[in-house]
Structure 1
Amino acid sequence: MLVHTLCLLSVLVSSVRAAPLAPRAAPTVQLDQGTFIGTSDGKTNKFLGIPFAKAPVGDLRFNLPVAVEPYTGTHTVTSFGPSCPQQAVDFDLPSQLAEDAVNFIVNSIYQAVFPAQEDCLNLNVVVPAGTKPTDKLPIVAWIFGGGFELGSPAMYDGGAIVSRSIEMNEPVIYVSMNYRVSAFGFLASQEVKDAGVGNLGLQDQRLALRWIQKYISAFGGDPTKVTIWGESAGAISVALHLITNGGNSEGLFRGAFMQSGSPIPVGDISHGQADYDALVSETGCTGAADTLQCLRQVPYDTLKKAVDASPGIFSPNSLRLTWLPRVDGKFLTDTPQNLVQQGSVANVPFVTGDCDDEGTLFSLSTLNITTDDELRSYITTNYMPQIESKSLDDLFTAYPADITQGSPFDTGILNALTPQYKRLAAMQGDLVFQAPRRFFLQHRSGLQPTWSFLSKRLKGLPALGSAHATDILNIYGGGELADYLINFATNLNPNGKTVASWPQYTTSSPKLLTFLDGITPVTITNDDYRVDAMNLLTELSLQFPI
């Protein structure tokens, strides 16, 4: 049954495999002086692969995105545009993984790689069939995840969200966007900072949000009713849009919905200098008077090969990613958590939640770590090079070697692939996901409406448990989370007639909507687990941002 469910996930989120439908009258939309011809299944109209920015090639490679010129002519937009260049996935699945776990990883990760090219800044719009320009429907703007290294809107069928919204009599418009990933979108060095071209993937997303403001009315959307929404790197992106620009949303969105992502503990963009220098060396740009300009001129295949050689999310570096958002002085003027403390947060309602076992998937590449000494060395070298012995001792006390306390949580002596696997999984999941979520909520609840959730579903997935990304089925697969999202986009409140009541999160009453396996699918729990451990991790991450 579990194998069937995981295979179903791949089918549900991949519109590219949908069976062909009978021909219907093609929907059209007028943008500027251009006519765009989409496709319809009778319930939803889709306009796919619309360019929103000029091709980021030549001098626009490693440069800020530039909006397209006003549209002219006729364009057929019935298939997804190319994905942005993907970093190659280099990950040997551990031999001891059970078939169910292997199926989950293959279906959720290895299927994430799609045909790609540099000219990739396109977006997709899915609209209820029959929508008129005067209907002023709310919009959900989806930002995909993939560790800031890979991913594509083509992985997800926005028609499922729009169809469900129609059934609920709360119709919404779905927009999904491409953005540059890996080194193409998150190159990091002092040179990048000096040139003001950091965090280009986030800048791409911001430009797509501006496109929505300009053009969504033609599709029947209300540009004042945009909810930004994402999972994993997409949710982290949403969080960073909340804290950029002094918290000024520029009217680009009125709400935010985050699945496994909050303001993360990252430091200055110069922390990526060694990886930048390696890229410069491997592309033959060493010695160039302007290495950044040299990288812009390197042949694509040469650059792509060098990028693929850099450590990926499933390398031993794990969640200390090579390419990710960092403080660039422009999009991020300080570390994300410092900005939260400073109150640089858009004053809009938001939802943020996690899966129970966020760290398991990212701990499979470190199964060679089997002793306390090896784990201490790994934490010190990979995450906190300057940590004092006392603080490290405290961390190891907070996250003990007792496998019954590790992740997958609440699975007793099961799933201990090595003596340190569950312990490291607990640490990593809390460091990057759980602790930042709680930190964010504790600083913002009471200042703006907030809700939080915890997904404990698929807990029986061997070695992985309620792993990172297991909640995607609950939103693209017709689960309750889709209803909560649609309610939130419509009313800025996730509650509604079709779902269980979800209380707001407050510091005095930190309630979590908790999704469970079994006969009781949803319950309310308290956000009071591993309090001391997460507080320590937060304190350390403020000292040692990645």
Structure 2
Amino acid sequence: MIAQALTGLLLHLVAFSAAAPLAGPTVTLDSATVSGTSWGKTSKFLGIPFAQPPVGDLRFRLPQSLPSYQSNFNATNYGLSCMQQALTLPIVKGAAAEFSNQLLNSVFNKIVPNSEDCLTLNVVKPASATPSSKLPVVVWIYGGGFQIGSTSLNDGAIIVSRSIAMGSPVVYVSMNYRLSGFGFLPGKEVGEAGVANVGLHDQREALRWVQKYISQFGGDPAKVTIWGESAGAISISLHMLANGGDTQGLFRGAFMQSGAPIPIGDITHGQKYYDSLVTDTGCSGAADTLQCLRSVPYASLKAAINKSPGLFSYQSLNLAWLPRTDGVLLAEDPQKLVQQGKIANIPYVIGNCDDEGTLFSLSTLNVTSEDQVKTYLKDIFFVGTPDEQLDQLLNAYPRDITQGSPFDSGILNAISPQFKRISAIIGDGVFQAPRRWLLQHTVGKQNIWGFVHKRLKVVPILGSFHTSDLLDVYGGGEMADYLIRFVNTLDPNGSGALQWPQYTSQDRNLMTFRDGLIPLAITQDNFRKEGMDILTTITLARPI
């Protein structure tokens, strides 16, 4: 998202200014010597290919493994990012919108240059680590609504440097994965060809690369934790559900920020987006439309994808491009898989920002009346839901602006009569309720911890907005320390830290990150229970 991209860029620039690069380190991969860069007490190896370029006939196919590395190469710069879907500013309308959006995307594409040939990863290790060090490994999966995102926006040296200072060193890995229509193309044709969710498969291919090569960087392949935010955290939750909950030895723990198993339906639910893409690229008359799409020039295909609704469009988080059930990697709706207990039995941490929905409700300022809210929800998110059930939902999330999001902000931030109400419903429906559903169905079965991030509540309109918790991790806050301890021991607790109790059926504890003189507290996961229960009932019956 925009906030994450700008936050990541700021943290990256701050980190880069803190220490000057030194002479380059090397590692051996198969028969190749790979040269990286030094940064403080860390060594960085950037832009390492982990799969064959997904171009030409490999477009819209599962990632293909690389042959062994034979030639020496430099790994001193990030690889190009995968295709980034065009962004739109939700609050800019009329004649100014086209100019503003063009300027926004021009700047964003300079920050995050992208290409179809993008399947690279990065490794940051303590400079002193050797192939015999067997350090725990944290694998970062970026967010961005499955439409944007890049490894270059988050500097892993910040995490590794902090781990060294704590005396608990880790190895950090991040990977690019295919996004938007390139990574999450829906449609019956895609399902029949067995090439659904290739973005998730890219992530798993990178995890297989970690198993094969991370020991060369001092990491232990048996001690991998996957960590992500937003779409990255959703991806992690889906990896926990993939193949009936079999991790295939790829990871032993998970740390999820603002993402849980979301209510997604069958891959055919996105048929209209596939059909539009076929029409807009001139493939309608082809005998094999999927094969035709593989031959469309990159720029033309990207332009056609950019016509689809984006993150900040009117339909908001009812995304055009996202993972969907395919009967292979994901057998059925993730929330039902959670309900059935078909999930990896591993320790995990999961939590949310307090005001997850505010960023995604700015496009709904024209929705001002009770009837308009009901119509919006029925047309966009809860198609086919009975009016009686929608009325129950709206009663649970009343028009009273003091009960909306940003929460606990009283009469402030009500930039339209329904903005705070819609923000509360979207934030709970997409983020908070799925998190609680996951915790409720794994409690007592595995070691689990929950949190809520309530910092930056003073930010006008947005409050503790989606992605704001990243500042606590890549900014070196307490959450980074809890993460590093979890990666090392599968427990976020350690000496000198406020004890983070597990989430249990008796005490639904949440570590609460707050502003003010008492920055950490333990609270209970009992807020907005009626509303979240109704949301879960609705989405279980009719996943998107």
**TM-score exceeds 0.5:** yes
Aligned amino acid, residue 483 of structure 1: D
Q: Structure 2 length normalisation: TM-score?
A: 0.95
C-alpha deviation, 1:15, in angstroms: 5.1
- Once residues 202 and 430 of structure 1 are traced to their aligned partners in structure 2, the CA distance between those partners, rounded to angstroms, is 24
- Once residues 411 and 172 of structure 1 are traced to their aligned partners in structure 2, the CA distance between those partners, rounded to angstroms, is 39
- Once residues 44 and 228 of structure 2 are traced to their aligned partners in structure 1, the CA distance between those partners, rounded to angstroms, is 20
The equivalent position to 2:510 in structure 1, one of 509, 512, 523, is 512
C-alpha deviation, 1:26, in angstroms: 1.4
Aligned amino acid, residue 222 of structure 1: D
Q: In the alignment, is the contact (CA less than 8 A) between 1:113 and 1:150 conserved in 2?
A: no
Consecutive unaligned residues in structure 2, runs of 5 or more: 94-99
- Once residues 8 and 336 of structure 1 are traced to their aligned partners in structure 2, the CA distance between those partners, rounded to angstroms, is 31
- Once residues 348 and 13 of structure 1 are traced to their aligned partners in structure 2, the CA distance between those partners, rounded to angstroms, is 31
Aligned amino acid, residue 378 of structure 2: T
The answer to whether 1:441 aligns with 2:439 is yes
SS in structure 2 at match of 1:273: helix
The equivalent position to 1:175 in structure 2, one of 173, 176, 199, is 173
Q: Closer, same or farther in 2 for the Cα pair 1:495/1:114, shift >3 Å?
A: same
Instruction: Name the residue aligned to 2:408.
Output: 410
Q: In the alignment, is the contact (CA less than 8 A) between 2:5 and 2:149 conserved in 1?
A: no
The equivalent position to 1:135 in structure 2, one of 104, 123, 133, is 133
Instruction: Name the residue aligned to 2:500.
Output: 502
Q: In the alignment, is the contact (CA less than 8 A) between 1:255 and 1:489 conserved in 2?
A: yes
Instruction: Name the residue aligned to 1:98.
Output: none
C-alpha deviation, 1:297, in angstroms: 0.4
Q: Closer, same or farther in 2 for the Cα pair 1:281/1:230, shift >3 Å?
A: same
C-alpha deviation, 1:343, in angstroms: 1.2
Instruction: Name the residue aligned to 2:185.
Output: 187
Q: Closer, same or farther in 2 for the Cα pair 1:407/1:304, shift >3 Å?
A: same
Give the CA RMSD over aligned residues. 2.0
C-alpha deviation, 1:111, in angstroms: 8.3
Q: Closer, same or farther in 2 for the Cα pair 1:424/1:232, shift >3 Å?
A: same
The equivalent position to 1:39 in structure 2, one of 33, 37, 40, is 37
Instruction: Name the residue aligned to 1:230.
Output: 228
Q: In the alignment, is the contact (CA less than 8 A) between 2:374 and 2:390 conserved in 1?
A: yes
SS in structure 1 at match of 2:261: coil
Q: Closer, same or farther in 2 for the Cα pair 1:58/1:16, shift >3 Å?
A: farther
- Once residues 199 and 136 of structure 2 are traced to their aligned partners in structure 1, the CA distance between those partners, rounded to angstroms, is 25
Instruction: Name the residue aligned to 1:394.
Output: 392
Instruction: Name the residue aligned to 1:99.
Output: none
Consecutive unaligned residues in structure 1, runs of 5 or more: 96-101
- Once residues 110 and 455 of structure 2 are traced to their aligned partners in structure 1, the CA distance between those partners, rounded to angstroms, is 22
Identity rate of aligned residues, in percent? 58
Aligned amino acid, residue 517 of structure 1: D
- Once residues 227 and 534 of structure 1 are traced to their aligned partners in structure 2, the CA distance between those partners, rounded to angstroms, is 29
Q: Closer, same or farther in 2 for the Cα pair 1:302/1:9, shift >3 Å?
A: closer
Instruction: Name the residue aligned to 1:26.
Output: 24
Aligned residues: 532
The equivalent position to 1:85 in structure 2, one of 83, 86, 89, is 83
Instruction: Name the residue aligned to 1:294.
Output: 292
Deviations 1:294-343 (A, max 9, x none): 00000111101001111101100101000001101111110001111111
Instruction: Name the residue aligned to 2:270.
Output: 272
Deviations 1:223-281 (A, max 9, x none): 00000000000000010000111111011000000000000011111010001100110
Greater mean deviation of Cα atoms: 35-44 or 254-263: 35-44
Please list, as runs of the form range in 1=range in 2, the aligned pairs for 1:442-521 lying within 5 A after superposition: 442-521=440-519
- Once residues 188 and 514 of structure 1 are traced to their aligned partners in structure 2, the CA distance between those partners, rounded to angstroms, is 38
Deviations 1:72-100 (A, max 9, x none): 111000010000011010224459xxxxx
SS in structure 1 at match of 2:227: strand
Instruction: Name the residue aligned to 1:306.
Output: 304
C-alpha deviation, 1:389, in angstroms: 1.2
- Once residues 15 and 522 of structure 2 are traced to their aligned partners in structure 1, the CA distance between those partners, rounded to angstroms, is 37
Aligned amino acid, residue 447 of structure 1: K
- The runs of at least 4 consecutive aligned structure 1 residues that moved more than 6 Å come to 5-8
Q: In the alignment, is the contact (CA less than 8 A) between 2:24 and 2:36 conserved in 1?
A: yes
- Once residues 131 and 152 of structure 1 are traced to their aligned partners in structure 2, the CA distance between those partners, rounded to angstroms, is 26
Instruction: Name the residue aligned to 1:71.
Output: 69
Instruction: Name the residue aligned to 1:541.
Output: 539
Aligned amino acid, residue 175 of structure 2: M
Greater mean deviation of Cα atoms: 25-34 or 429-438: 25-34
The equivalent position to 1:426 in structure 2, one of 424, 427, 436, is 424
Q: In the alignment, is the contact (CA less than 8 A) between 1:32 and 1:72 conserved in 2?
A: yes
- Once residues 240 and 120 of structure 2 are traced to their aligned partners in structure 1, the CA distance between those partners, rounded to angstroms, is 23
SS in structure 1 at match of 2:225: strand
Q: Structure 1 length normalisation: TM-score?
A: 0.95
Instruction: Name the residue aligned to 1:204.
Output: 202
Deviations 1:17-73 (A, max 9, x none): 824965633110000111100000241000000000000011110110001110011
C-alpha deviation, 1:189, in angstroms: 0.4
- Once residues 214 and 282 of structure 1 are traced to their aligned partners in structure 2, the CA distance between those partners, rounded to angstroms, is 41
- Once residues 165 and 362 of structure 1 are traced to their aligned partners in structure 2, the CA distance between those partners, rounded to angstroms, is 34
Q: Closer, same or farther in 2 for the Cα pair 1:22/1:540, shift >3 Å?
A: closer
Q: In the alignment, is the contact (CA less than 8 A) between 2:15 and 2:155 conserved in 1?
A: no
SS in structure 2 at match of 1:277: helix
SS in structure 1 at match of 2:71: strand
Instruction: Name the residue aligned to 2:361.
Output: 363
Q: Closer, same or farther in 2 for the Cα pair 1:256/1:6, shift >3 Å?
A: closer
- Once residues 440 and 6 of structure 2 are traced to their aligned partners in structure 1, the CA distance between those partners, rounded to angstroms, is 36
Deviations 1:476-499 (A, max 9, x none): 001000000000000000001242
- Once residues 364 and 239 of structure 1 are traced to their aligned partners in structure 2, the CA distance between those partners, rounded to angstroms, is 27
Instruction: Name the residue aligned to 1:246.
Output: 244
Aligned amino acid, residue 119 of structure 2: L
Greater mean deviation of Cα atoms: 13-22 or 455-464: 13-22
C-alpha deviation, 1:500, in angstroms: 1.1
